[in-house]
């Protein structure tokens, strides 16, 4: 497996499934770490996290102690907070099964912590801590318990915090085992983030996601196969893009071609071009429908118009006649798709130009829809032997790859990338970027990027940015793809005047200039 250089492989970034986490823990125990020590470490680290947020604790704390070691973590938290002078009570909704957890519970009662005999009142103001099952849960949970927690959550009288995994939520799928799961205001992931917590389906349940470091050795993390890395806006500070020499001219600052827009969707062409311009690419060319081409000099005079596209009777663009007159090999990247509409006959005639193009091909929106409806279907990607990036949302993905099934979007993206040897951005609340060896899970990004038109802007931005970086890194890798997507979302989050495409375009331009200027040699 190729080394992943961004972001750093550590416990904050690495995402694992429940089995991988259990294997890690067993290895630590085999190396000599006592289970008691790991439980103490987890409970004390969580207690420290809570003590930094004392407003959560001012009305007291009720901790739900589960039957296993997650319950033991909760018992350690109860002890630490009680010894710090807070009012703490515990309730055990199930019979305790682990000796270590039972020993902690007995000690709690011996020092004066109240052990409730009946369920606590969901209308109270105290903090509730869900330490019931955590990473070990694998099946449905008593619905009465989940209803009790969610009554508390909905009342808004005091917060709910889940330890590791909200009760009732699958740690691998990020979906409830049955109809519902505990809804938490905060979820504290112990050791490493679990895959389920970073999936779109988990968002209604996890609240704010936080990492609790328990000191998993780095050398063990490096040995984990199938590495999945969580990236957030905090990782932007470690983004390294190739430096621009002072003597670089426009032809050495990236040459990209955008094929976008139609009479039916003229705005998509404009937006894609805006994205390319904001990247700072030196030479941006376009193939546009006549309706856009006639006015492009007024809004983007720096664009070189290569050809215009005719439209079919439905207002969708015809690519073939324009492609006959263009040498695609002159470009570092070619982006196809935003707003071109569907024309299957035209795609059948045009596809060989894209199959044979040796540069980076970026396929978005209607290009993907044309492929999914074509005779080749997704086998188009197998016919093409050169680097290909695609940017589907969930419905486009399903149309392209109806045979691929997985429990999560992450699994879908990984399986498609491996089967077809492509790089995929699977768009969502927590978008995923994957190739046949590596995965980046974007987390905590701005929801305002889920608006019509911003995907067109992103396509152009990816095209321009990749063209620049391809001039310095001929074998541009998928981590660049992930960086561009994160930058696009961050630009949206920084816009103070709204989140429409023009405002984000301006913010992207500033952001890219700042990044590149810092790195000028």
Question: Measured between alpha carbons, how far is residue 177 from residues 85, 190, 376, 510 in Å?
Answer: 37, 21, 38, 45
Structure tokens at 298: 């007024």
The model's confidence at residue 518, banded by pLDDT at 50, 70 and 90, is low
Q: What is the pLDDT of residues 311-341, one digit of tens each?
A: 999 999 999 999 999 999 999 999 999 999 9
Q: What topology does CATH give the domain 14-223?
A: Rossmann fold (3.40.50)
Q: Which of 86-90, 129-133, 190-194, 279-283 shows the lowest per-residue confidence on average (mean pLDDT)?
A: 279-283
Q: What is the pLDDT of residues 343-367, one digit of tens each?
A: 999 999 999 999 999 999 999 999 9
Q: What topology does CATH give the domain 237-518?
A: 3.40.1190
Q: What is the pLDDT of residues 163-202, one digit of tens each?
A: 999 999 999 999 999 889 999 999 999 999 999 999 999 9
Rounded distance, CA 129 to CA 225, Å?
Answer: 33
Average pLDDT over residues 213-232: 93
pLDDT for the residue numbered 1 = 37
Rounded distance, CA 263 to CA 242, Å?
Answer: 38
Give per-residue burial for 125-154: e unless 16+ CB within 10 Å, then b: ebbbbbbbbbbbbeeebeeebbebbbebbe
pLDDT for the residue numbered 521 = 35
Rounded distance, CA 415 to CA 173, Å?
Answer: 15
**pLDDT, mean over the chain:** 92
Own/partner contacts of 318-325, CB < 8 Å, gap of 24 or more, are 318/343, 318/346, 319/259, 319/287, 319/343, 319/346, 319/347, 319/350, 320/346, 320/349, 320/350, 322/259, 322/287, 323/287, 323/350, 323/353
- Tell whether the model's pLDDT for residue 34 goes beyond 90: yes
Predicted TM-score (pTM) of this structure: 0.93
- How many other C-beta atoms are found inside a 10 Å radius of the C-beta of residue 399? 16
Tokens 């670089």 label which residue? Answer: 248
Q: What is the largest CA-CA distance in the chain?
A: 85
Q: Domain segments of the chain: what residues?
A: 14-223, 237-518
């Amino acid at each position: 497996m190729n080394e992943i250089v961004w972001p750093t492989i550590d416990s904050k970034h690495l995402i694992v499934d429940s089995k991988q986490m259990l294997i890690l823990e067993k290895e630590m125990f085999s190396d000599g770490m006592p289970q008691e020590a790991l439980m103490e470490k987890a409970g004390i680290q969580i207690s420290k996290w809570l003590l930094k947020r004392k407003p959560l604790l001012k009305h007291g704390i009720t901790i739900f102690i589960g039957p296993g070691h997650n319950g033991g973590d909760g018992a350690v938290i109860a002890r630490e907070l009680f010894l710090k002078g807070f009012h703490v009570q515990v309730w055990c909704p199930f019979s305790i099964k682990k000796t270590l957890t039972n020993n902690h519970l007995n000690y709690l009662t011996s020092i004066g912590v109240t052990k409730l005999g009946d369920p606590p009142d969901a209308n109270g103001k105290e903090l509730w801590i869900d330490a019931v099952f955590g990473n070990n849960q694998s099946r449905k949970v008593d619905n009465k318990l989940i209803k009790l927690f969610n009554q508390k959550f909905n009342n808004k009288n005091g917060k709910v915090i889940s330890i590791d995994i909200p009760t009732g939520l699958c740690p691998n799928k990020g979906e409830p085992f049955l109809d519902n799961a505990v809804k938490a205001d905060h979820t504290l992931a112990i050791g490493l983030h679990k895959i389920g917590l970073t999936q779109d389906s988990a968002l209604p349940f996890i609240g704010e996601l936080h990492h609790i470091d328990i000191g998993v050795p780095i050398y063990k993390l490096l040995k984990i196969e199938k590495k999945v890395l969580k990236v957030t806006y905090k990782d932007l500070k470690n983004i390294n893009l190739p430096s621009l020499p002072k003597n670089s001219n426009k032809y050495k600052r990236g040459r990209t071609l955008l094929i976008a827009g139609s009479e039916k969707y003229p705005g998509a062409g404009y937006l894609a071009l805006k994205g390319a311009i904001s990247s700072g690419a030196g030479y941006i060319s376009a193939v546009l429908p006549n309706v856009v081409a006639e006015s492009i000099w007024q809004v983007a005079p720096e664009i070189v118009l290569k050809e215009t596209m005719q439209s079919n009777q439905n207002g969708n663009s015809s690519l073939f006649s324009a492609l006959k007159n263009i040498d695609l090999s002159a470009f570092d990247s070619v982006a196809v798709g935003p707003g071109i509409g569907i024309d299957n006959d035209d795609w059948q005639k045009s596809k060989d130009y894209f199959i044979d193009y040796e540069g980076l091909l970026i396929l978005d929106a209607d290009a993907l829809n044309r492929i999914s409806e074509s005779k080749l279907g997704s086998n188009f990607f197998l016919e093409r032997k050169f680097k290909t990036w695609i940017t589907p949302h969930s419905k486009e993905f399903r149309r392209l790859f109806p045979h691929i099934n997985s429990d999560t979007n992450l699994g879908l993206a990984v399986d498609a990338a491996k089967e077809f040897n492509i790089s995929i951005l699977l768009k969502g609340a927590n978008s995923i970027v994957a190739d046949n060896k590596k995965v980046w899970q974007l987390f905590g990004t701005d929801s305002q990027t889920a608006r019509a038109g911003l995907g067109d802007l992103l396509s152009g931005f990816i095209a321009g940015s990749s063209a620049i970086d391809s001039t310095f890194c001929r074998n541009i890798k998928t981590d660049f793809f992930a960086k561009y997507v994160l930058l696009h979302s961050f630009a949206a989050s920084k816009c103070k005047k709204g989140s429409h495409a023009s405002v984000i375009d301006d913010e992207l331009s500033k952001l890219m200039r700042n990044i590149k200027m810092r790195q000028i040699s």
